[in-house]
Amino acid sequence: SVRLLGWGQTSGPSGNPSSVLKENTFVVKSNDECQAKLRRSNELRGWKATATHLCAGGDAGQAACFGDSGGPLIKSTSAGFALVGDVSFGVPCGKGFPDVYGRVAAFRAFIDQASRNHTWV
């Protein structure tokens, strides 16, 4: 399972951002399953899953919402937490469809190269 953290709205586009950091735990879906589910939505019928995507969630009311974009999707490991994705897009506030995240592992070579000479604080 993976965990999403965010300050996004809790009740759709007319809601207010959360005043406290929210957290939800999701199961990762295969890209094939995700694509099949999202194609049943009006918003993302033509969407094509690629290796740069990771999908998770899908239960109504348990999703990223407005204001969560770019937020972290993390996984607990024996060494601590690992960033596995960042909120990219989906059916607004879930509505029973999985969310789509940028798959961090797909960009690992770029991240390593771009941060090679960076001094971490």
pLDDT tens, residue by residue, 47-60: 888 999 999 998 76
pLDDT grade for 102, boundaries at 50, 70 and 90: very high
Determine the average pLDDT of the residues in 60-80.
91
- The four Cα atoms 13, 19, 23, 24 give a dihedral, to 10 degrees, of -30
Residue 106 burial by CB count (10 A; 0-12/13-18/19+): exposed, middle or buried?
Answer: middle
Closest CA to 7 of 55, 57, 71, 58: 71
Determine the average pLDDT of the residues in 66-80.
95
- Ordered structural domains, the chain, with CATH: 2-114 (2.40.10.10)
Q: How many CB atoms lie under 10 A from the CB of residue 109?
A: 9
Task: Enter the tokens of residue 87.
Answer: 């909120």
Determine the average pLDDT of the residues in 107-114.
94
* Mean confidence (pLDDT) of the chain: 90
* 3-class DSSP string for 83-103: EEEEEEECCCCCCCCCEEEEE
Contacts of 63 (CB under 8 A, 6+ apart): 24, 57, 90, 91, 93, 94, 95, 97, 98, 99
Q: End-to-end CA distance of the chain: give it in Å, rounded.
A: 29
Contacts of 19 (CB under 8 A, 6+ apart): none
pTM of the model as a whole: 0.89
pLDDT tens, residue by residue, 9-58: 877 667 788 899 999 999 999 999 999 998 998 888 888 889 999 999 98
Residue predicted with more confidence, 104 or 92: 104
